Amino acid sequence: MLFRAWHRGFKEMDLILGSFADRRLASLTADELDQFEAILAEEDGPLYHWITGKVEMPAAFDTPIMAEIRDFALV
């Protein structure tokens, strides 16, 4: 997961998800890991727009981990 978070192909997402994974991956619960796995499976473009708030996030991705990533990215 750490490798995938840092090697997205879209530099902004590398920085957001990779930095988040560096900080939190080891402490995520099983449920949080599932949420993060689903996030990693998404395309970079829509994911970036959801995280930055440019496009409304689909309900399926409105999870505690996504909220934490969004807060992390917008600091």
- CA-based nearest residue to 16, from 52, 60, 54: 52
Residue 75 has pLDDT above 80, yes or no: no
19-to-55, 58, 59, 60, 61 alpha-carbon distances in Å:
22, 23, 24, 23, 19
Domains belonging to the chain, first-starting first, are 2-73 (1.10.150.250)
Residue 74 has pLDDT above 90, yes or no: no
Tell me what pLDDT residue 6 has. Answer: 98
Q: What is the Cα–Cα distance from 59 to 61, expressed in whole angstroms?
A: 5
Specify the pTM.
0.92
Within 10 angstroms of residue 62's Cβ, the number of other Cβ atoms is 12
Tell me what pLDDT residue 15 has. Answer: 96
Per residue in 1-57, pLDDT (tens digit) is 999 999 998 999 999 999 999 999 999 999 999 999 999 999 999 999 999 999 999
